[in-house]
Amino acid sequence: MENFAFSFLLFWAFLPLVVRAQEAEGAEEESCARESLDDYNMPLRIGSLFIILVTSAVGTFVPMLLHRIHPYSEGSFRYWVLTVGKFFGTGVILATAFIHMLPESLENFSSPCLSEGWQSYGAFAGIFCMISSFALQLLELGAATYMDKLRAKRQNSAEASFNEDDMEKKTGLEHGHVHGGALFEEDEKAFRNVGVMMLELGIVMHSIIIGITLANTGNDEFVTLIIALVFHQFFEGIALGTRINEMEHKSWVRPLILGGLFIIMTPIGVAIGIGIHSSFNPNSSSSVLANAVLDSLSAGILLYNAYVSLMSAEINHNLKFRQSSLTNKAVCFLSMYIGAGLMALIGKWA
């Protein structure tokens, strides 16, 4: 009888703990369950696809058109518009990584929908961000090493083509200096091209996620999210369009391809999201993990580009910028800070 009484008291003592554990488990299962999208407004979702397509196109192609239609001189109105757009875009890129990608990745990696292994370490977002930055540095180093070999090969070939005559040697040396300068300019262009392509990769990876998320958002949040994403895509388009201008291609082909790739990626994500909305569970372990990894990788790419290729190379290590007027510096810095500030503000809704 005493044993029974003791067991009875022990049962009632631990019952609240058991109930709370079951409630927590039930809440966790509920948070990871597929959300019901009642009254799925298909026309509105399809319309959002075209709204984002047009908005992205305007943001991307307007800077490219301003840059390429007619030549413009330094100090002209178009020069200032493009300069503001370029540094505004740098701020947008930086804020996109810090405000939109890294926090989202951190939140997903801490999701209870992931397995215990992924939840056992709280810095996976930083790990993947760091990995993509290291990978980008190795890629640039490989490109630089390859260009060094090409330059050495061309210089050796040019020197071998000259005769032993003193005058011809002198002419050859002068020609070699000019040729070396031209090669240096080609190297700079090649670095810019690699940087722009890596920047596009980071933005495109994030754009697919945005599209799928938008298509599977409930009606109550959909309108707010689409308005925020319109500004998001427009500002990112400006950032990418002004950077594509730096590639200085003679034809329109590559700029159109690079711009078009960004423009269609979020609409493609929306189309995919619409197609799978009846079965897609954004709270499933695989979906949460994929979003977390892609966002952190994209953040690393954008951060590397923003600090190394954009801010450091174009400001601190740019002799022309350092020697520019105080007005020019103030306009550039203010444009960058405003771009970052606006993108950070949009992070409240998207």
Query: pLDDT tens digit string along 268-327?
Result: 999 998 888 777 788 889 889 988 999 999 999 889 988 887 888 888 888 889 999 999
Q: Determine if the pTM surpasses 0.95.
A: no
**Of the ranges 56-70, 297-311, 321-335, the best mean pLDDT one:** 321-335
Query: pLDDT tens digit string along 79-131?
Result: 898 899 989 989 999 999 999 899 999 999 999 999 888 988 889 999 999 99
Cα–Cα distances in angstroms (integers) from residue 100 to residues 51, 64, 104, in the given order: 21, 25, 6
pLDDT of 211 strictly over 80? yes
Write down the mean pLDDT value for the chain. 80
Rounded to an integer, the average pLDDT of 30-57 is 82
CA dihedral 189, 336, 234, 77 (to 10 degrees): -80
Amino acid (one-letter) located at 166: D
- Burial classification of residue 73, based on how many CB atoms lie within 10 Å of its CB (0-12 exposed, 13-18 middle, 19 or more buried): exposed
